[in-house]
């Protein structure tokens, strides 16, 4: 993932304006320290700050179709890009192996509706120079950050962070998750039910917990689609420990290098102790860090460019303490939906900004599209604490990973 910045319909197309846009784009340099790119077509500017994760040598952005009439700048990961490439007609020629390269070609065949075909986390701006139109989109949960603003001259400004918009926009705001902005309608879609969002607003009654383990394993493994060193943020709690165990089992089967795990805490904290116990059990290359500036510098020097993190689990499974007070499963489910829909304002924003500030990408498997389809369609009764039935918090997750013959955790 990276940083994107675009100005569309700008009345000033002078060299001075281009230089100003480049200057504003560089405010996002921390998000993508490996490469900077810009494309100008008339009064439209698309720029990109790249953090190389897939196809480091050739996946520079903006990306194009064959004739360069479709231009796109993307922040995100498209996990099903290989399947999407195979399903496109044979007339398409790809310039790179980047997972995002498929977007321009999908647009040629399916128009704006292709957004619903994407399995991933993303925010992007696409410019169609043939029709002189553009549109922008953001993933349904809002894992990637995106903001939109409007200039006095009627131009539309889009940026991964607000710092790109605050100088020149008359007004700017959060680009809502699951929304699409099209120049054809000059407005955002109604985000009541975001594009790509699972239809789990009604209280489910199904017992899908039996396939929960497979869904999480798939969500974790697809996020290991990388050409650079990676690790996991390991707290020693249930969520990060299970994800670490899934990764370790996968790496054993591929004969890849050992997983690197990282824990940050105060000296003597229970998190450090628990994380170390899990790391020793799984055999990870484990690092402990304390709250010092020097340790922060040391972490940066380890050259890990992508980490797995576990945002979303507490919201999906009701892991917060106050969920114990839910009077019934209906209200429990309504609250989990409310928490998940607000993630882009809190946990997703925090992990996005805190990692990209240091040129680091975070992947969040608990917010995987298919995993959420399963997890949010489990009867809430199996998520609730019930002492009479021996159910503690996140019981359904613990139960599905309870393997006495080949235990995941100590």
Residue 203 lies in a domain: no
Residue 325 lies in a domain: yes
Marked catalytic residue, from 2, 310, 337, 348: 2
CATH number assigned to the domain comprising residue 377: 3.40.50.620
Query: Do 245 and 138 sit in the same domain of this protein?
Result: no
181 and 147 Cβ atoms separated by less than 8 Å: no
CATH number assigned to the domain comprising residue 21: 3.60.20.10
Predicted pLDDT of residue 35: 86
What would the two tokens of residue 304 be?
């890990």
Query: Do 317 and 183 sit in the same domain of this protein?
Result: no
Residue 194 lies in a domain: no
Cα of first residue to Cα of last residue in the chain, in angstroms, is 34
Query: Do 280 and 236 sit in the same domain of this protein?
Result: yes
Residue 111 CA to residue 104 CA, distance in Å, equals 10
Quote the number of domains for the chain: 2
CA atoms within 13 A on the CB side of 197: 20
Query: Do 296 and 368 sit in the same domain of this protein?
Result: yes
Query: Do 377 and 235 sit in the same domain of this protein?
Result: yes
Residue 215 lies in a domain: yes
User: Model-level pTM?
Assistant: 0.92
Query: Do 183 and 238 sit in the same domain of this protein?
Result: no
359 and 309 Cβ atoms separated by less than 8 Å: no
Strands, E assignment, 205-292: 230-233, 260-264, 285-289
Residue 172 CA to residue 192 CA, distance in Å, equals 20
Residue 195 lies in a domain: no
Predicted pLDDT of residue 199: 57
Of 203, 243, 216, 254, nearest to 377 by C-alpha is: 203
Domain boundary among 138, 160, 188: 188
328 and 384 Cβ atoms separated by less than 8 Å: no
Question: What is the per-residue pLDDT across 16-59, written as a single tens digit (0 to 9) for each?
Answer: 999 999 999 999 999 998 889 999 999 999 999 998 877 777 67
What would the two tokens of residue 283 be?
């055999």
Query: Do 219 and 130 sit in the same domain of this protein?
Result: no
Domain boundary among 156, 188, 220: 188
395 and 385 Cβ atoms separated by less than 8 Å: yes
Query: Do 227 and 132 sit in the same domain of this protein?
Result: no
Query: Do 50 and 115 sit in the same domain of this protein?
Result: yes
CA atoms within 13 A on the CB side of 214: 5
Predicted pLDDT of residue 210: 72
Residue 410 lies in a domain: no
Of 6, 317, 21, 12, nearest to 137 by C-alpha is: 6
Q: Is 337 a catalytic residue?
A: no
Query: Do 161 and 216 sit in the same domain of this protein?
Result: no
Q: Give the SS3 label for residue 136.
A: strand
Query: Do 176 and 312 sit in the same domain of this protein?
Result: no
Residue 142 CA to residue 123 CA, distance in Å, equals 9
The parent domain of residue 238 ranges over 208-400
Of 122, 146, 125, nearest to 134 by C-alpha is: 125
Predicted pLDDT of residue 228: 84
What would the two tokens of residue 155 be?
């131009």
Residue 260 CA to residue 248 CA, distance in Å, equals 10
Instruction: Please report which helix (H) or strand (E) contains residue 282, including its range.
Output: helix 270-282
Query: Do 377 and 328 sit in the same domain of this protein?
Result: yes
Q: In what order do the strands lie in the sheet with 3-8?
A: 35-41, 44-50, 3-8, 156-159, 147-151, 169-174
Q: What is the mean pLDDT for each group of 10 consecutive residues in the chain (410 residues)?
A: 94 92 95 92 96 75 95 96 92 90 96 95 98 95 97 96 95 95 86 50 67 95 91 97 97 87 90 97 94 70 88 97 96 95 96 92 96 92 92 94 91
């Amino acid at each position: 993932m990276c940083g994107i910045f675009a100005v569309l319909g700008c009345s000033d197309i002078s060299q001075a304006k281009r230089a100003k846009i480049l200057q504003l784009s560089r405010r996002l340099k921390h998000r993508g320290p490996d490469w900077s790119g810009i494309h100008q077509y008339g009064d439209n500017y698309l720029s990109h700050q790249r953090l190389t994760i897939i196809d480091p040598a050739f996946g520079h952005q903006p990306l194009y179709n064959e004739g360069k009439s479709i231009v796109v700048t993307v922040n995100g990961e498209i996990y099903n890009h290989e399947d999407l490439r195979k399903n496109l007609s044979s007339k398409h020629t790809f310039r790179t192996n980047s997972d995002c390269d498929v977007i321009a070609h999908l647009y040629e065949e399916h128009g704006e509706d292709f957004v619903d075909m994407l399995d991933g986390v993303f925010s992007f701006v696409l410019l169609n120079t043939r029709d002189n139109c553009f549109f922008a989109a953001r993933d349904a949960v809002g894992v990637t950050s995106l903001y939109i603003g409007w200039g006095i001259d009627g131009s539309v400004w889009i940026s991964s962070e607000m710092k790109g918009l605050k100088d020149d926009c008359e007004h700017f705001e959060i680009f809502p998750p699951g929304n699409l902005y099209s120049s054809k309608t000059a407005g955002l879609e109604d985000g009541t039910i975001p594009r790509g969002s699972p239809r789990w607003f009604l209280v489910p009654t199904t017992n899908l917990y039996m396939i929960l383990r497979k869904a999480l394993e798939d969500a974790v493994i697809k996020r290991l689609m990388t050409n650079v060193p990676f690790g996991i943020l390991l707290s020693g709690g249930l969520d990060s420990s299970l994800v670490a165990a899934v990764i370790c089992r996968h790496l054993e089967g591929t004969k890849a290098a050992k997983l690197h795990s990282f824990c940050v805490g105060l000296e003597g904290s229970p998190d450090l102790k628990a994380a170390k116990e899990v790391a020793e059990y799984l055999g990870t290359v484990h690092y402990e860090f304390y709250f010092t500036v020097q340790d922060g510098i040391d972490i940066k020097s380890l050259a890990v460019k992508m980490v797995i993190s576990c945002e979303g689990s507490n919201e999906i499974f009701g892991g917060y303490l106050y969920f114990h007070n839910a009077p019934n499963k209906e209200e429990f489910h309504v609250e989990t939906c409310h928490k998940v829909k607000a993630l882009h304002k809190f946990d997703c924003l925090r992990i996005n900004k805190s990692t990209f500030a240091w040129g680091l990408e975070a992947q969040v498997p608990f917010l995987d599209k298919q995993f959420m389809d399963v997890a949010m369609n489990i009867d809430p009764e199996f998520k609730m604490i019930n002492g009479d039935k021996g159910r503690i918090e996140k019981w359904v997750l613990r139960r599905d990973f309870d393997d006495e013959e080949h235990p995941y955790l100590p």
